[in-house]
Amino acid sequence: MGRRQRAALLIAAPRLDRCEERRRTDAVRREVASVAELRLLAEEARQLLDHVARLADENGAHEPLVTLILTGVVVASLLGAAISLLKYLADPYNQLPAITFWLMGSFSSASQQELASLFPAVAFALAVLLALAWRINLLALPEDEARALGVNTRRLRAIVIAAATLATSASVAVSGIIGWVGLVVPHMARLVVGPEFSRLLPIAAVFGAIFMLLIDTLARTLATIEVPPGILTAVVGTPVFIALLARARRMF
């Protein structure tokens, strides 16, 4: 090693040491922040559960539908906080952009291999729901009447939720999160074929496919870049949800 090289190393060594020390400090700070975020997440989840329990007790909300809605609010809030934590801990150059685009949803990476991995779970879930179609119709009745007709409503509801969750999670794993589809499409299908579940489910599946095909076409043609489908479905779903709320308010 020449004299100039040794001199350069002597000059650069303190800077390299400071860079390494800064990297270690950032790593420690990141670990401490992750632990603090986990504790904050647990505390927020506990407070949210306590708040929902108080609301249920104050309003007498022990009906299964109300309980299901409140449980959905709790789980959505908790998982939203978990996603925020994952985004905070993710690599900002590689992982964070991938998480962000997945949360907006996209069909740009769709392929036959992904369709093949998706099909068994969705087909199984749809087969289970169709096999239970007449029992699912009875869930629209009051709890006592449905039980009087020989339906174990608690077990049936758990099976229906599990099957719907399987189909939805398999689809989300491939396309990302594309919201509002489950709100808009079933009501469109219900207006066409009525509430009978054995007819409603296949028509809703066909309408959902057509709806997402139209959304994806608009996403690819509205601008020079591909607009995430989740943005367009939110634009469509928000006024539909407001209309449903207004209709429910008029009914009650």
Q: Read off the pLDDT of residues 87-96 as tens digits, 9 standing for 90 and up.
A: 888 888 888 8
Residue 192: inside a domain, yes or no?
no
190 belongs to a structural domain: no
Task: State the average pLDDT over residues 111-125.
Answer: 91
**How many beta carbons lie within 10 A of that of residue 230, not counting itself?**
23
How many domains does the chain fold into? 1
Q: Is residue 205 part of a domain?
A: no
Structure tokens at 232: 């367009």
In a domain, 33, yes or no: yes
Q: Is residue 225 part of a domain?
A: no
- Residue 21 pLDDT more than 50? no
Structural domain for 52, as ranges: 1-89
Tens-place pLDDT, residues 185-219 = 988 898 889 889 999 999 999 999 999 999 999 98
Tell me if 20 is assigned to some domain. Answer: yes
- pTM for the model stands at 0.69
**For position 137, what pLDDT does the model report?**
92
Q: Tell me if 46 is assigned to some domain.
A: yes
- Taking CA atoms, 41 is separated from 44, 77, 80, 83, 245, in Å, by 5, 10, 10, 11, 31
Where is average pLDDT lowest: 42-51, 128-137, 162-171, 175-184? Answer: 42-51
Asked if residue 70 belongs to a domain, the reply is yes
